[in-house]
Amino acid sequence: MIDIRGLTKRFGHQTVLDGIDLSIEAGERVVVIGPSGTGKSTLLRCINFLDRPDSGTIRLSNLGVDAKAASRADILALRRRTAFVFQNYALFANRTAKQNIMEALVTVQKQPKAEAEKRALAILAETGLSERADSYPAALSGGQQQRVGIGRAMAIGAELMLFDEPTSALDPEWVGEVLDLMRRIAERRQTMLIVTHEMQFAREIADRVLFMDGGRIVEEGPPDAIFENATDPRTRAFLKRVRSDGSA
């Protein structure tokens, strides 16, 4: 469903993505792991053109975007068919929880307001935030904000949902509720590309795990294969390190 070829991104002289090839099937849940600074966030951001890749192609069903030739219309089309969940939530500060979820529907998809509101309320119910519908982000806990952030991404009805360490900025007490919500989304066979350091969660939810290092996908496979029988020494070293941190 999504087909990425030769995706390359440089910041100055540093090559952060070094020709990434990646295909994801519809309904597949792919988790990206890897050390800090290896380009995991940049990969997701390039798929959404929050960072503009220097070269490579991204094909999403019938939409093909060549990084070098991408027009503004291409970029908008790609963004409207993908959804991004940010590490720091990035909720619209001047919109309530409900309005955050409605925003894309009303402004971008031009849905009637009543319809968008109905959808937003349904999503709030699903995320367990019905009572906070009229709260502004500043009045919500981190876990609540991230659930709204995920709700905003769900509302779009995107073919591909991108999650960039959705629980890394949270106090430990809020991590569980966010992961639970992501599990429920995964159960519907929503296509997801998730960067996370939650190894247990990755193992549970992933159809496939990618290990990235130095701007490349070093190794990939089903979770059991990666977590139990990684072949690349870098993968093994990384997993050993995170396990001894107690995070897996």
Partner 1 sequence: MRALDLDYMLGLVPVILGYVPLTLFMAAVAMVLALLLASLMAVERVIKVPVLDGFVRLFISFFRGTPLLVQLFLFYYGLPQIFAFLTQIDGVTAAIMGLTLHFSAYMAESIRAAIVGVDRSQWEAAESIGMTRGQMMRRIILPQAGRIAAPTLVNYFIDMIKSTSLAFTLGVTEMMGAAQKEAAGSFRYFEAFLVVAIIYWVMVELLSQAQRQLEGRLNRAFAR
Ligand X SMILES: Nc1ncnc2c1ncn2[C@@H]1O[C@H](COP(=O)(O)OP(=O)(O)OP(=O)(O)O)[C@@H](O)[C@H]1O
Residues 124-153 that bind partner 1 (CB under 8 A): 134-139, 152
The minimum distance between CB 200 and ligand X, in angstroms, equals 18
How many residues of this chain interact with partner 1, rule: CB under 8 A?
30
CB 5 within 8 A of CB 182: no
Rounded distance between C-alpha atoms, residue 207 and residue 1, angstroms: 15
Residue 8 interaction partner, one of Mg ion, ligand X, partner 1, none, beta carbon < 5-8 Å per kind: none
CB 92 within 8 A of CB 99: yes
> 169-187 burial string, b = 16+ CB within 10 Å, else e?
ebeeebbebbbebbeebbe
- Single out the residue of 79, 160, 163, 181 in contact with partner 1 (rule: CB under 8 A): 79
Is residue 144 near Mg ion by the rule CB under 5 A?
no
Which of these segments, 33-41, 152-160, 213-221, 234-242, binds Mg ion (CB under 5 A)? 33-41
Complex with Mg ion: residue 37 or 128, whichever CB lies closer: 37
- Single out the residue of 28, 30, 38, 41 in contact with Mg ion (rule: CB under 5 A): 41
The minimum distance between CB 174 and partner 1, in angstroms, equals 18
Give the DSSP H or E segment for 209.
strand 208-213
Residue 37 interaction partner, one of ligand X, partner 1, Mg ion, none, beta carbon < 5-8 Å per kind: ligand X
- Single out the residue of 4, 31, 104, 199 in contact with partner 1 (rule: CB under 8 A): 104
- In sequence order, the 6+-apart residues with CB closer than 8 A to the CB of 15 are 8, 9, 215
Binding mask 12-51 for partner 1 (x = CB under 8 A): ------------------------------------xxx-
**Sheet with 55-60, side-by-side order of all strands:** 14-24, 2-11, 55-60, 63-66
The minimum distance between CB 239 and Mg ion, in angstroms, equals 18
Residues 5-34 that bind ligand X (CB under 6 A): 11, 16
Complex with Mg ion: residue 20 or 140, whichever CB lies closer: 20
CB neighbour class for 4 (10 Å; exposed up to 12, middle 13-18, buried from 19): buried
Name the DSSP class of 176. Answer: H
